[in-house]
Structure 1
């Protein structure tokens, strides 16, 4: 069985070491208002536990969740009991999802409430990486709301180990890295506009997580080209990338993604 255990890499200068593939968990907690081409059923506890066990056996140690992912955090707490030190947990603040609608609150009071709530839900004393779940107005969020200052305080208190943004703009990503530890960036075959953020991270030892790694852009590939492999080749050719987050709940897809990433990294090595 191909695994990622020997392929961990540093998440910038945080001191955290992460698998090149991370498991996104929106599908464990939310099936409304999600941008997937096909419908899916939220896995029950037995299926979710099996998926997490499989991920761990495949060498995935990075797990990505958020308050906006419905009940994802609440489910992960019990599912990960007894395994805390085997996972690097990423969660977020800023976006809330209730009654099928997203709303945003980046105020210091809400940020602190959100992080304390995530700690309780996840049944842990620390969150490894806490990202601002941006509404797209990245610069305004970082400069005007106090969210980053609050995350810096929470880091000093040891409640979070590192912080950054899951943003949508180059300017926001660059500012987030200048003042913080990590950025989660869209980068795939169809969208490479945020590449300057990756470039900055590579030259300043900052962390980069890739979201939407396997998104659109596959249609433009030549016949016979594997879009998953081509996506990972693009992503991991960039020295700034720490890990790519994929949100599959299908065991065969997860194993195939791991095998592809391992092959790509060994080829680049």
Structure 2
């Protein structure tokens, strides 16, 4: 039996966004192995392994790639790894969180937001980023109401440096507020954690985009014996019409192929 792919299952990222694969490749593990919340340790792949993983993702119909300055060297590595392929990828990056010496710090000022996006453009070797999300520290409403990060991203969108902007937050109130002016919310939604469903509902009603993080609960999903946790997770996500894509951060080619096959089967049954 041939490996199912996602090539014919791409869908719009919100009302006016680019078409994206229902599964996106998260790249935290390409750049950072400290302070990450996975159940098992891992080794950061070398360039050849990373190149093969990206090629496999592309061959399987994945065109969405998720990175961030807080992912260590992820952006710097992706620039050279994606040379000559820019038109094949929809790139999502972030602003607001920096990671160095094992520590995260946050800065939502206008100057840092602009600096961060310009730096991401250089690192990724591109003249635009499809979508930039604010990497929240958990104080979602205060970031949106009291900082200049959103107006600065709106200006960068008008300048053509980013295609859209949005928010990767931790609260329902933050997600709803973020979608009033922004294009996209990235929410946590999985078998263990469904509180942000209201944000997905709002996005669906207003033509905004939803990306799901921790779709597989960072590998922590538990079910009754005999149930496939990956399938059950994707069935939950994709029964909601508001979900554009789920970001999964695997560096294991077999896991990636299994995830793609599962999503393809779930979507073709719906």
**TM-score interval w.r.t. the shorter chain?**
over 0.9
Q: Does 1:198 align with 2:221?
A: no
Aligned counterparts, 1:9-88, within 5 A = 9-88=11-90
| Equivalent position to 1:173, from 169, 172, 175 | 175
Distance of 1:203 and 1:67 partners within structure 2: 31
Q: Does 1:218 align with 2:221?
A: yes
Report the aligned-residue RMSD.
Answer: 0.8
Distance of 1:46 and 1:263 partners within structure 2: 30
User: What's the CA shift for 1:267?
Assistant: 0.8
| Equivalent position to 1:133, from 123, 132, 135 | 135
Structure 2's unaligned 5+ residue stretches are none
Contact 1:96/1:103 (<8 A) preserved:
yes
Contact 1:229/1:264 (<8 A) preserved:
yes
Distance of 1:78 and 1:157 partners within structure 2: 25
SS of alignment partner, residue 175 of structure 1: helix
1:21-44 superposed Cα distances (whole Å, 9 cap, x missing partner) = 000000000000000110000000
1:70-111 superposed Cα distances (whole Å, 9 cap, x missing partner) = 000000000000000100000000000010000000000000
User: What's the CA shift for 1:223?
Assistant: 1.7
Contact 1:14/1:162 (<8 A) preserved:
no
Corresponding position of 2:210: 208
Distance of 1:131 and 1:164 partners within structure 2: 5
Corresponding position of 2:187: 185
User: What's the CA shift for 1:217?
Assistant: 6.4
Corresponding position of 2:152: 150
Corresponding position of 1:101: 103
- Structure 1 residue ranges (4+ consecutive) displaced by more than 2 angstroms after TM superposition: 216-219
Number of residues of Structure 1 aligned to a counterpart in Structure 2: 267
The alignment's TM-score, normalised by the length of structure 1, stands at 0.98
Distance of 1:33 and 1:183 partners within structure 2: 24
Corresponding position of 2:258: 256
Structure 1's unaligned 5+ residue stretches are none
User: What's the CA shift for 1:15?
Assistant: 2.8
Contact 2:39/2:220 (<8 A) preserved:
no
